[in-house]
Amino acid sequence: MVRIIVFTVTLVVFAGGVKPVPAQELIDPMRPAPYRAPTPVTAEQQQAEMHSELQLTAILKGSQRRVAVINGEVLQVGQQIQGYRLIDIDARQVRLQKDGQHLVLSVEAQVMKRSSAAEQSP
């Protein structure tokens, strides 16, 4: 029996059957991802994020009153949401105003447009 083991080991060593295998790096699944510093946010991006929080869901227009549903809240002209005053309700869009800036929310594809108060003509 010992002869068979010695013969097998000798055969494997001389035949080059045992080769070192490089170890693969083991990754700890609980290790946090590498830290990435946040990218700086411009004032325009911050303002766009604030506006993106306002979502016009529906406009209801009857003979006696017009209402807009913004962020699930039913509003009439003159009421406020997130500091914006609702100043006009049309068939497909609403106009809001905050600090001299106008914001237009549209029912179709949630289109938002900004303009200054100087650009608006009565």
CATH number at residue 82: 2.30.30
Q: Write out the residue range of the structural domain in which residue 64 sits.
A: 53-119
Residue 44: inside a domain, yes or no?
A: no
Residue 118 has pLDDT above 50, yes or no: no
Mean pLDDT of the region 102-117: 66
Residue 1: inside a domain, yes or no?
A: no
Tally of domains in the chain: 1
Q: How far apart are CA 60 and CA 107, in angstroms?
A: 11
Query: Which has more confidence, 37 or 58?
Result: 58
Residue 62: inside a domain, yes or no?
A: yes
Question: Which residue's structure tokens are 């608006």?
Answer: 120
What 84-90 contacts at long range (C-beta under 8 Å, 24+ apart), as own/partner pairs, is 84/54, 89/59, 89/61, 90/59
Residue 117 has pLDDT above 60, yes or no: no
Residue 65: inside a domain, yes or no?
A: yes
Out of 5-9, 14-18, 118-122, least confident range? 118-122
Residue 84: inside a domain, yes or no?
A: yes
Per cent of the chain over pLDDT 70 is: 67
Residue 31: inside a domain, yes or no?
A: no
Residue 40: inside a domain, yes or no?
A: no
pLDDT at 77: 95
- Does the pTM exceed 0.85? no
